[in-house]
């Protein structure tokens, strides 16, 4: 379903620098296998203080493996000060984009790198950054500081985007009100979103790809639920980002048809295809 770039596929199928590093100078582990993604990153520096060797082990999806592999290639030869400036957007850009729903994998890589650098500095008596903010999403162990940073650095504007970049809110959803409060507060503080360059996410889908994905989502995710109650839906047309459908069976002429269009059809298509799709009922 995801539209991966050639670089993502290459780093997934042929990951670089996988394995354990003997006698590393710094090690970090982020994520949690029980939550679906985990990454262990190990670094070894040369006499000039540059990253000479780097290895990773990860548990996760194709994007997690590709992001980790890309990160290790990017930071070789860098000083710790230089590596510390690498952002999750840099990782996505190196891979020619990631699906927005998978951007949390690039964030995990960035977090692992920063944790490894902090580990190195603590070993030598220097203070390391420590996140002491409260946990907002208990399903995935995401803290308030992690959410605020993702919003600030990636100009996020919705709970859905926060989930894409941090996984927060992707489980039981009980933290959605807290995430919404953070978004509202930071919007009020003015995080400079308009001044940021456009986010590098997934490559744009062709119109044929978009229509195919819409049809597939309707067939697999929407129609079965409607058919259980004697209803049905048919795709009529797609014009830009407006999807025209016709309700059939028990749904046709139902006084709640507008609710069905928005909640049963539009929400699913926004979740599985594009977040800015609009669904309208086709006029007879």
Q: Which residues are known to be catalytic?
A: 35, 105
CB atoms within 10 A of CB 29: 15
Q: Are strands 278-281 and 242-249 parallel, antiparallel or unpaired?
A: parallel
């Amino acid at each position: 379903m995801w539209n991966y770039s050639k670089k993502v596929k290459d780093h997934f199928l042929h990951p670089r620098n996988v394995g354990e590093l003997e006698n590393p100078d710094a090690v970090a582990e982020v994520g949690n296998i029980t939550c679906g993604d985990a990454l262990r990153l190990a670094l070894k520096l040369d006499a000039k203080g540059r990253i000479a060797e780097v290895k990773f082990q990860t548990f996760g999806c194709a994007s997690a493996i590709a992001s980790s592999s890309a990160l290790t290639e990017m930071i070789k030869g860098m000083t710790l000060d230089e590596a510390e400036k690498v952002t999750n957007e840099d990782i996505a850009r190196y891979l020619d984009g990631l699906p927005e729903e998978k951007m949390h994998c690039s964030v995990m890589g960035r977090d692992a790198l920063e944790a490894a650098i902090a580990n190195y500095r603590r070993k030598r008596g220097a203070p390391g950054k420590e996140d002491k903010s409260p946990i907002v999403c208990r399903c995935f162990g995401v803290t308030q500081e992690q959410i605020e940073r993702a919003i600030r650095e990636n100009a996020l504007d919705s709970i859905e985007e926060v989930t894409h970049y941090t996984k927060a809110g992707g489980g039981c959803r009980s933290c959605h009100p807290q995430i919404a409060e953070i978004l509202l507060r930071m919007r009020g503080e003015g995080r400079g979103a308009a001044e940021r360059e456009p986010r590098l996410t997934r490559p744009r889908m062709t119109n044929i790809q978009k229509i195919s994905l819409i049809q597939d989502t309707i067939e697999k995710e929407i129609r079965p639920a409607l058919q259980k109650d004697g209803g049905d839906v048919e795709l009529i047309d797609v014009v830009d980002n407006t999807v025209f459908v016709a309700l059939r069976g028990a749904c046709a002429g139902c006084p709640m048809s507008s609710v069905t269009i928005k909640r049963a059809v539009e929400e699913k298509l926004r979740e599985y295809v594009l977040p800015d799709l609009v669904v309208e009922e086709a006029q007879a």
